[in-house]
């Protein structure tokens, strides 16, 4: 169908009659669910990924996410109905599509500079076969101005078409949170900002019709990306603030968790929690997209920069807690066995992307520490350069230190008595997830240290 | 009555029968409303202030706050009923009281170090006549540990009594917001942390009974103050973050207000707004109470410190906007007349404490700028070292620059046509309160500049 200038009624009808073909490029944690919900809404969806293994697994219903409720069933359903098919050839899929959605990752390099190669590569392939009057929706998060300054010129040059006139293009950054992707895709309002109002309107009408969500129309792709970055940087800075409070309150003998719970009774406070660091594909990198744009015009957002520094230093703080606690029970860290419980970057998801626990692991490894890992999401699987234990007991056996890396639900009811027996007492319990009560840990003979806990002995 | 160890039923009964006498020290924006609501709840309240003028005005019902809905009527009511009387003599009032509430200011000095002299002085006077088994409630905000390390030792030494055993003492920092004090005192949960659970319980029962509010019991005065500071520093840091975004987005051509509105559609975002700086008796100083405690143990909370720096620099940013805008219309700042609209530290209150507009005023004055001031709360009154105009028209007449300092409601519907006629066109409109639409200002011939506005010409 001709998606540009279509009314909501026409889009609803087209979805009903399977007359819209959408190409979704990048079948990761955002792209694949996006493809699935659009297919479920009636669109004919062509999924594209550069990884052939992913393509084959999607087509044979063997791919999915064990930590996304309802998602795998949905993927299976739409694949079996023939509504979703994956391919490795972007240009072939784009040639058949009314709408192209770009969901490729936008990581930062080692030097903390955004790496736009995946989105540039995707755009190049899109340009080869982009149809006139089609619509490009960029879900990948990029720096404000990157769509206008980098992607559109590239597309226009290669297609010899004019954005706005010959094809529509918008930024519509995803806002869904891993572990709740399906729910969020179908309920959260989405921000959409196009190169012109015609593009904005076309994308808004499509997603409103397909997903039943509220669309927030903004002035440009630049503004849409500024919004996405502001949301995430807000979280990164507030986590950094709580990390800073946590370190200070440890020393002042105040428990940050008691503080946060009480603050949350005020109408204008929103809780964030300290931890071993900040991981995932967004928060640790989004600030750098903005800092890059700032650097171009000579303005360094120093608060945002410092928040990143603070969060990046939290793994080191955890190691300090471990080392000092071990010293307090007369053990040397390099001669100790440490059981790390929980390695994912946030609770109850099966995702290691940029997890701060990896920094902790690597640092301990370098110092010759003997490490075991247990994570309910990674039982017996390869994690970092080691194999995770099948059971909690196996990991904790003989440990001098139990380090709770992340607050998985399972860890909220740890059998401390059993852990005390299994471990090599006197054992240190370092709680970066703040899931164990200090008093209970002490009752069972552990030396307890928690991030932001009042750590008097 | 004996307040320590009283049940809720006993306190309710005692309030009903006017058997509780409460001394409230410090009759400012928090102390006086506190005194009034407690008197209204049935207590016999003795208000104390070091300022004899305040004392006399309270007793003759001539004192009050024009920006606190319902408060003056309440003060009048309880004074006329004989439930509230003010005095200048702390010790005399304390001698008659079951409960002593300390509400004196805790400012910081020029060197940004907390000035605890008012609370030390008040405590000394309390100690002279403090009755056995009475309860001291400290509402003033102080650094975590200050009650335990400074106030209690002072009280114990002078009274020769033991805190916890012979008298109760708690920190119960106020959380009310100027402009809504009465409403907040009667609805917001309060944090209470005592030197022992007996003190905590006594204060919680009293305030629950008198005000019908939820009391959040925490482990110590130290924790109670940490909570209060965390709440306010959270706000200060988030305003700083929005100020940082604002400055960056001005340069990137993105409007911060469009960004904040859109971000607010996400469940885990809470809006804060940029402005000319951060004023009032709490936010500009609370960070320093915490930094002082941090300094004692060798830990500088750098994010908190940087947020203060950013907020303190906002007046300078406003001046830059003014100066550059004037230059763009071919005028020199030092030869211009600037009309400042709005001088209070937050919208719709009549309060100049630490208002950032004063920094702007002083800086412009130093540069020889001709300044007029209009504020609906300060019509014809002395503001800074000048007399505010009686009318908006009077202030704006002949102005080369209209600077909106704060977002008073009245400024949301400015008659731009009239202002254009009154002012000395070409006029610049610098909007630190973000109350004027840029397009409208331009329609009327103004050169518009706003904090965080996309400031292309």
How does the average pLDDT of chain B come out, rounded? 96
pLDDT at A323 over 80: yes
Cross-strand pairs, B47: B24, B86
Confidence (pLDDT) at A62: 85
Residues 303-332 of A with CB under 8 A from B: 303-304, 306-307, 310
Contact yes or no for A267 and B188 at CB 8 A: yes
Element spanning A218, H or E? strand A215-218
Rounded Cα–Cα distance for residues B358 and B377 (Å): 15
Hey, is B177 helix, strand or coil? coil
The two tokens of residue A140 are: 């990948």
In the 8-state DSSP scheme, what is residue A22?
Answer: E
Q: Name the pLDDT band for A259 (thresholds 50, 70, 90).
A: very high
The two tokens of residue A393 are: 């007991």
CA-nearest of A210, A168, A174 to A191 is A174
pLDDT at A457 over 60: no
pLDDT at A253 over 70: yes
Q: Where are the alpha helices (DSSP H) in A253-274?
A: 256-263
Pick the catalytic residue: B282, B331, B346, B438? B282
Contact yes or no for A227 and B302 at CB 8 A: no
Which chain A residues are closer than 8 Å to B226 by Cβ?
A: 249, 252, 254, 259
Cross-strand pairs, B429: B402, B448
Task: Report the percent of chain A where pLDDT is more than 70.
Answer: 100
Residues 50-109 of A with CB under 8 A from B: none
Q: Does A249 touch chain B (CB under 8 A)?
A: yes
CA-nearest of A108, A109, A152 to A130 is A152
pLDDT tens track for B55-74: 999 999 887 788 999 999 99
Q: Name the pLDDT band for A61 (thresholds 50, 70, 90).
A: confident
In the 8-state DSSP scheme, what is residue B409?
Answer: G
Q: Does B456 touch chain A (CB under 8 A)?
A: no
Residue of B nearest to A188 (CA): B266
pLDDT tens track for B228-245: 999 999 999 999 999 999
**Catalytic-residue membership of B172:** no
Closest by Cβ to A249, choosing from B226, B263, B269: B226
The interaxial angle of helices B221-252 and B314-328, nearest 10 deg, is 20
CA-nearest of B396, B387, B417 to B341 is B396
Selected residue of A225, A226, A253 to mutate for chain B interface (largest B Cβ count, 10 A): A226
Rounded Cα–Cα distance for residues A57 and B279 (Å): 59
Confidence (pLDDT) at A456: 64
A150 phi, psi to nearest 5 deg: -120, -55
pLDDT at B457 over 60: no
Q: Read off the pLDDT of each residue in B169-178 and give the average, rounded to a whole number.
A: 96
Rounded Cα–Cα distance for residues A206 and A7 (Å): 9
Closest by Cβ to A266, choosing from B231, B258, B297: B231
Confidence (pLDDT) at B66: 86
Rounded Cα–Cα distance for residues B341 and B406 (Å): 7
Rounded Cα–Cα distance for residues A70 and A58 (Å): 16
The two tokens of residue A151 are: 């992607």
Domains B8-219 and B220-457 share a fold: yes
pLDDT at B99 over 60: yes
pLDDT at A219 over 60: yes
The two tokens of residue B367 are: 């540069």
Which chain B residues are closer than 8 Å to A270 by Cβ?
A: 268-270
Q: Read off the pLDDT of each residue in A214-239 and give the average, rounded to a whole number.
A: 98
**DSSP per-residue letters across B364-398:** HHHTT-EEEEE-TTSTTSEETTEE--SSHHHHHTT
Residues 152-211 of B with CB under 8 A from A: 175, 188-189, 191
Contact yes or no for A222 and B253 at CB 8 A: yes
pLDDT at B256 over 80: yes
* Cβ count near A300 (within 10 Å): 12
What CA dihedral angle connects A354, A360, A365 and A367, to 10 degrees?
140
CA–CA min distance B455, chain A (Å): 14
Residue of B nearest to A240 (CA): B303
Q: Name the pLDDT band for A251 (thresholds 50, 70, 90).
A: very high
Selected residue of A200, A220, A265 to mutate for chain B interface (largest B Cβ count, 10 A): A265
pLDDT tens track for B350-392: 999 999 999 999 999 999 999 999 999 999 999 998 999 999 9
Q: Read off the pLDDT of each residue in A278-302 and give the average, rounded to a whole number.
A: 95
CA-nearest of A165, A167, A164, A184 to A175 is A184
CA–CA min distance B26, chain A (Å): 24
Rounded Cα–Cα distance for residues B192 and B170 (Å): 7
Residue with tokens 């960070």: B287
Q: Read off the pLDDT of each residue in A418-444 and give the average, rounded to a whole number.
A: 97
pLDDT tens track for A83-115: 999 999 999 999 999 999 999 999 999 889 999
pLDDT tens track for A112-166: 999 999 999 999 999 999 999 999 999 999 999 999 999 999 999 999 999 999 9
Q: Is B350 exposed, middle or buried (0-12, 13-18, 19+ CB in 10 A)?
A: middle
Q: Does A295 touch chain B (CB under 8 A)?
A: no
Residue with tokens 């950032």: B356
Sign of the alpha-carbon torsion through A440, A441, A447, A452: negative
Rounded Cα–Cα distance for residues A453 and A248 (Å): 10
The two tokens of residue A319 are: 């190691």
In the 8-state DSSP scheme, what is residue B410?
Answer: G
Strands laid side by side in the A84-87 sheet: A84-87, A44-48, A21-25, A99-102, A135-138, A168-171, A190-194, A215-218
Domain A220-457 has CATH 3.30.390.30: no
Rounded Cα–Cα distance for residues B170 and B148 (Å): 10
The two tokens of residue A244 are: 């800073």
pLDDT tens track for B132-155: 999 999 999 999 999 999 999 999
Contact yes or no for B262 and A290 at CB 8 A: no
pLDDT at A354 over 90: yes
Confidence (pLDDT) at A63: 79
Contact yes or no for A303 and B231 at CB 8 A: no
Q: Which residues of A are catalytic?
A: 228, 282
In the 8-state DSSP scheme, what is residue A10?
Answer: H
Q: Are the beta carbons of B417 and B354 closer than 8 angstroms?
A: no
Contacts of A313 (CB under 8 A, 6+ apart): none
Contact yes or no for B269 and A234 at CB 8 A: yes
Pairing of strands B401-404, B428-431: parallel
Bond into A372 cis (ω within 30): no
Contact yes or no for B237 and A234 at CB 8 A: no
Closest by Cβ to B230, choosing from A230, A240, A263: A263
Superfamily (CATH) of domain A8-217: NAD(P)-binding Rossmann-like Domain (3.40.50.720)
The residues spanned by each domain of chain B are 8-219, 220-457
Q: Name the pLDDT band for B455 (thresholds 50, 70, 90).
A: confident
Q: Does B231 touch chain A (CB under 8 A)?
A: yes
Q: Does A254 touch chain B (CB under 8 A)?
A: yes
Long-range contact list for A155-161, CB < 8 A, 24+ apart?
A155/A123, A155/A126, A155/A127, A155/A130, A158/A124, A158/A127, A158/A128, A159/A127, A159/A130, A161/A130, A161/A132
pTM for this prediction? 0.97
End-to-end CA distance of chain B: 70
* Cβ count near A374 (within 10 Å): 26
Rounded Cα–Cα distance for residues B346 and A298 (Å): 31
CA–CA min distance A235, chain B (Å): 8
* Domain made up of B8-219: CATH architecture: 3-Layer(aba) Sandwich (3.40)
Contact yes or no for A310 and B302 at CB 8 A: yes
**DSSP per-residue letters across A307-371:** HHHHHHTHHHHHHHHHHHHHHHTT--GGG-EEEEE--SSSTT----TT-HHHHHHHHHHHTT-EE
Confidence (pLDDT) at B110: 85
Q: Does B278 touch chain A (CB under 8 A)?
A: no
Residue with tokens 């500009």: B284
pLDDT at B22 over 80: yes
**Three-state SS letters, A105-167:** CCCECCCCCECCHHHHHHHHHHHHHCCCCCEEEECCCCCCCHHHHHHHHHHHHHHCCCECCCE
Q: Are the beta carbons of A243 and A310 closer than 8 angstroms?
A: yes
Q: Does B255 touch chain A (CB under 8 A)?
A: yes
Residue with tokens 């755009």: A123
In the 8-state DSSP scheme, what is residue A446?
Answer: P
Contacts of B215 (CB under 8 A, 6+ apart): B189, B190, B192, B203, B204, B207, B208
Residue of A nearest to B239 (CA): A234
Contact yes or no for A310 and B303 at CB 8 A: yes
pLDDT tens track for B289-301: 999 999 999 999 9
The two tokens of residue B426 are: 């070409």
C-alpha pair distances (Å), A205 with each of A43, A201, A217, A302, A440: 14, 6, 11, 39, 55
């Amino acid at each position: 169908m001709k998606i540009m200038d279509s009314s909501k009624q026409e889009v609803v009808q087209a979805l009903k009659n399977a007359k819209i073909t959408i190409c979704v490029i990048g079948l990761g944690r955002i792209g694949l669910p996006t493809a699935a919900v659009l297919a479920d809404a009636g669109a004919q969806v062509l999924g594209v990924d550069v990884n052939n293994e992913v393509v084959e697994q999607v087509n044979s219903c063997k791919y999915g996410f064990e930590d996304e409720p309802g998602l795998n069933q949905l993927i299976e359903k739409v694949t079996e109905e023939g509504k979703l098919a994956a391919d490795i050839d972007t240009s072939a899929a784009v040639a058949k599509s009314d709408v192209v959605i770009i969901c490729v990752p936008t990581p930062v390099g080692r030097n903390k500079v955004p790496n736009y190669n995946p989105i540039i590569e995707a755009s190049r392939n899109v340009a080869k076969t982009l149809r006139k009057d089609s619509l490009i929706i960029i879900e990948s998060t990029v720096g404000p101005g990157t769509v206008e300054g980098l992607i559109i010129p590239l597309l226009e040059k290669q297609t010899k078409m004019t954005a706005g006139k010959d094809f529509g293009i918008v930024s519509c950054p995803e806002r869904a949170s891993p572990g709740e992707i399906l729910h969020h895709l179908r309920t959260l309002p989405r921000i959409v900002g196009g190169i012109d109002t015609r593009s904005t309107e076309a994308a808004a009408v499509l997603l409103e019709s397909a997903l039943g969500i509220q669309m927030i129309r903004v002035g440009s792709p630049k503004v849409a990306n500024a919004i996405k970055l502001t949301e995430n940087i807000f979280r990164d800075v507030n986590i950094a603030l709580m990390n800073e409070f946590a370190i200070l309150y440890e020393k002042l003998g105040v428990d940050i968790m008691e503080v946060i719970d009480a603050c949350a009774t005020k109408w204008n406070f929103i809780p964030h929690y300290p931890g071993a660091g900040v991981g995932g594909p967004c928060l640790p990198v989004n600030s750098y997209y903005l800092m890059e744009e700032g650097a171009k015009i000579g303005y360094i957002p120093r608060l945002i920069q410092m928040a990143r520094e603070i969060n990046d230093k939290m793994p080191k703080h955890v190691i300090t807690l471990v080392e000092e606690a071990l010293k307090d029970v007369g053990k040397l860290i390099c001669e100790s066995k440490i059981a790390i419980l929980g390695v994912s970057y946030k609770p109850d998801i099966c995702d290691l992307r940029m997890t701060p626990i990896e920094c902790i692991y690597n640092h301990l490894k370098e110092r010759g520490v003997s490490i075991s890992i247990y994570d309910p999401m990674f039982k017996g699987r390869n994690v970092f350069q080691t194999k995770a234990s099948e059971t909690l007991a196996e990991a904790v056996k003989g440990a001098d230190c139990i380090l709770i890396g992340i607050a998985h639900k399972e860890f909220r009811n740890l059998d401390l008595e059993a852990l005390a027996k299994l471990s090599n007492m006197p054992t240190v319990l370092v709680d970066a997830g703040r899931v164990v009560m200090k008093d209970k840990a002490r009752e069972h003979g552990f030396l307890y240290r928690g991030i932001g806990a009042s750590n008097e002995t």
